[in-house]
Structure 1
């Protein structure tokens, strides 16, 4: 989950342990932001919030493997589907020869290498097929396909 995982688990334990009247008071004092609708219900019942259900529906609808001539995927739902389902993180540690990117490399079932590009603020992440040279931890070229 990342750096906030410990805090998340501690907060969930704290919130769940509150008596019902205290949980209600907490929710009144700290209402969920508009785009977090259903958050408290999720914590209390495990029922996914409406925004999450809708996002999962959009991701499922975007499920489509890239065509051979596709080199860039910018649709955010399709990027999410590819990262969650289609692409695999290779065990081989490698980086791009011309960019230095290493922790955002993925392989598809056909052996192609994809890179997740996380641009500057205000732009959305996207995937692009990388066909350049890959460099390993030993600074030597990595043979393809990487796995």
Structure 2
């Protein structure tokens, strides 16, 4: 029971810190890498937006997960403009965000953004490729 309470408290602290870190995101180099195809299953949403969910338990207090990519909606590979994802005490370590429609094949990656705005790129060779709508389910660091 003590472990559950500690895990819940950690998740609550992470969610609060993620909110704070979102205000401090600084620029970063793109490091786009090679162009490897990484497709994910999709489900169409009513709004046309894509629901992106990623399992990432590599964040520390004060960090958040963001989506970065070639499209302006994903920050055009600029760390300060990356699309911040959110989590909560109930959903951690799962992070999510709704993304406006993007062209199929748009390149993107997940990044971890630190409290000072430093960006840690997902350790996946090459870039992921946008599936073209619906929902994206992924695990950080795995193609």
TM-score by length of 1: 0.28
Instruction: Name the structure where strand makes up a greater proportion of residues.
Output: 2
In terms of fraction of residues, the more helix-rich structure is 1
Q: Normalised by the size of structure 2, how large is the TM-score?
A: 0.28
Which of structures 1 and 2 has the larger relative contact order (alpha carbons within 8 angstroms, sep 6+)? 2
